[in-house]
Structure 1
């Protein structure tokens, strides 16, 4: 044990001038106790509000996206009816894509009006689908369904044709001015 103490003493002597021997303030202990006894204000925990706001936001987003989708599932429809709906839906989606591609400041009003009209057609179509699910298929309901789908396609084609005519008219007018 004595040998170890000698080693420590030698070690202390070796690093004697390298120690930090700065004196602490005489008020240090008093300052420390004051800080310790000082009442700290309670931290407000907003975690609950953040979680509630996140839930409301997610519910709002899910409601928004679910309202824009039409019911695609026919529980009581025949294979032919489902197939007809699929084919027409693809054609309508393609026409809508073409319509959105034609978007420009000059066509903005026409496209917005067309999309508003498409929402009317969609709501009519949803009523027809509910009727099919409620009462089953009959010739009148199937005819109304196909008529609605054909009307939507021809409406979109007419709108696209009007946009192209407007663009052609603008181009020919611009050419005459130059």
Structure 2
């Protein structure tokens, strides 16, 4: 223990002339107490409030932007039913893409009518999904759901076939006139 004290004494002796030993002013305590008791008006941090408001607006904007418009999504179905819905939905989306790719002035009316019919199918499908959520899964509802999805795919394929036939007919009639 004595050795430790000797080491400390040596350390303090080493810095003996480097200590800050300046005396405080006699009125230092009064100045300190005045500063302590003085009530300064609180600074209003508008930037803090504005940043919170901006964050809230941003979050609301993102949540509205990323909401899906798919009314056909349902949460009360089994995984198999959801998987079936998802597979058929992908097939239907692919057929819709093909249909939109065929868009031309000659096909405009056919495509427009087909899209109107698809809205009717979608409305029927939404009724089926509502029934599924309300009453749970049963064979009749599942059959109606699959039947609707199959009908949509068949309908889109038929429309695409008609468009191709019209295009082929137009091309062959032009070849004969030349």
TM class by shorter chain equals 0.5 to 0.7
Q: Secondary structure at the match of 1:106?
A: coil
Match in the other structure for 1:148:
148
| Alpha-carbon distance between aligned partners in 1 of 2:73 and 2:171, rounded to the nearest angstrom | 45
Match in the other structure for 1:157:
157
- Between Structure 1 and Structure 2, how many residues are aligned? 116
| Alpha-carbon distance between aligned partners in 1 of 2:97 and 2:148, rounded to the nearest angstrom | 19
Runs of 4+ more than 2 Å apart: none
Match in the other structure for 1:73:
73
TM superposition shift of 1:74: 1.7
CA-to-aligned-CA distance 1:56-104 (integer Å, 9 cap, x gap): xxxxxx7xx97x9332432110000000000000000000000000000
Q: Is the 8 A contact 1:70 1:122 kept in 2?
A: no
TM-score, normalised via structure 2 length: 0.62
Could you list the runs of 5+ residues in structure 1 that have no partner in the other structure?
Answer: 1-61
Match in the other structure for 2:175:
175
Q: Root-mean-square deviation (CA), in Å?
A: 2.0
Could you list the runs of 5+ residues in structure 2 that have no partner in the other structure?
Answer: 1-63
Task: Please give the residue correspondences for 1:1-178 in structure 2 after superposition, counting only pairs within 5 Å.
Answer: 69-178=69-178
CA-to-aligned-CA distance 1:106-146 (integer Å, 9 cap, x gap): 00000000000000000000000000000000000000000
Q: Secondary structure at the match of 2:137?
A: coil
TM-score, normalised via structure 1 length: 0.62
